[in-house]
């Protein structure tokens, strides 16, 4: 039986391409970032259904031709925004791992959830897009659903931080933990725009308990 991870998870590069071409000049790169920022703002205001390339161009202050120079449609823009969200999330979690000392993996799990919650509260567009499941369950990788991609990235961080032995069991346990946490945290934000604290705490307890049972060989 093969691991559930995919090349995209390991390498951090997705199979589907959202950008027609990568900006090579600083000015072009800034213009693309403005488009992504505009997309994020509009997602908060009107949702994905109301989103259009015309509205994104107007909000970003660029010509519609500039949008099509880099993106074929609004799905491609949200796909690139999703990738930015993933990289920001993984970067923030990785930075916490470097800056803070954890007594064990269970505290690292809490930190991962805290970063997700903070992005949900503070990053434009994240509440409505998260990691792309609102648009397409395979938005990040045509061969793996979005949560599998996230699970792979987090598994890599945990392996590096705690020196765990990679295994099929670890793959599956982290994937199930991500799916369960995602569902419970969605409930937390349906109940409260800032995330119901008691449900966020329940998500932490649920994931810690599940991983403790599944991965008894992890260092305590």
C-alpha 79/C-alpha 185 separation (Å) is 22
Inside any domain, residue 138: yes
Residue 1 inside a domain? The answer is no
Average pLDDT over residues 107-117: 92
For 53-62, 66-75, 104-113, which range has the lowest pLDDT when averaged over its residues? 104-113
Judge whether 185 and 140 are in contact, CB under 8 Å: no
User: Residue 23: what pLDDT?
Assistant: 67
DSSP state of 73: S
pLDDT average, residue stretch 2-31 = 57
Within-domain flag for 3: no
Residue 11 contacts residue 5 (beta carbons within 8 Å): no
- Structural domain count, the chain: 1
Question: Do 156 and 178 touch, CB atoms closer than 8 A?
Answer: no
pLDDT at 193 over 60: yes
Q: pLDDT of 126-145, one tens digit each?
A: 988 877 665 665 555 666 67
In a domain, 175, yes or no: yes
From residue 146, alpha-carbon distances to 112, 182, 183 in Å are 17, 11, 13
| Residue range of the domain that includes 104 | 16-214
Residue 103, pLDDT > 90, answer no
Cα-Cα-Cα-Cα dihedral sign, residues 133, 16, 119, 44: negative
Q: Does residue 196 fall inside a structural domain?
A: yes
Share of the chain above pLDDT 70, in %: 81
CA distance 159 to 66: 41
CA distance 42 to 27: 23
What pairs with residue 144 in β-bridges? Answer: 141
Q: What is the CATH number of the domain that holds 46?
A: 1.10.357.10
Task: Give residue for tokens 């805290």.
Answer: 114
Which segment, 3-12, 96-105, 205-214, is predicted with the most confidence on average?
205-214
Whether 159 is covered by a domain: the verdict is yes
Asked if 85 contacts 78 with a C-beta cutoff of 8 angstroms, the reply is no
How many Å is the maximal CA-CA distance in the chain? Answer: 56
Residue 220 forms part of a structural domain: no
Q: Is residue 7 part of a domain?
A: no
Burial 1-10 (b: 16+ CB within 10 A, else e): eeebbbebbe
Lowest mean pLDDT among 31-35, 89-93, 96-100, 116-120: 96-100
């Amino acid at each position: 039986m093969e691991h559930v991870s995919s090349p995209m998870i390991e390498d951090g590069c997705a199979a589907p391409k959202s950008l027609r071409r990568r900006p090579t000049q600083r000015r072009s790169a800034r213009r693309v970032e403005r488009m992504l920022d505009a997309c994020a703002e509009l997602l908060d205001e009107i949702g994905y259904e109301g989103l259009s390339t015309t509205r994104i161009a107007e909000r970003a202050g660029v010509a519609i031709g500039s949008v099509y120079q880099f993106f074929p449609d609004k799905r491609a823009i949200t796909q690139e925004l999703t990738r930015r969200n993933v990289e920001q999330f993984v970067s923030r979690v990785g930075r916490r791992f470097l800056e803070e000392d954890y007594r064990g993996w269970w505290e690292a799990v809490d930190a991962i959830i805290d970063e997700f919650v903070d992005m949900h509260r503070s990053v434009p567009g994240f509440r409505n897009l998260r990691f792309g499941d609102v648009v397409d369950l395979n938005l990040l990788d045509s061969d793996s659903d979005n949560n599998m991609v996230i699970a792979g990235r987090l598994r890599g961080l945990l392996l590096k931080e705690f020196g765990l032995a990679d295994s099929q069991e670890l793959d599956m346990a982290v994937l199930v933990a991500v799916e369960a946490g995602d569902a419970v945290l969605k409930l937390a934000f349906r109940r409260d725009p800032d995330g119901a604290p008691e449900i966020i705490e329940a998500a932490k307890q649920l994931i810690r308990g599940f991983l403790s049972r599944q991965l008894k060989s992890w260092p305590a």
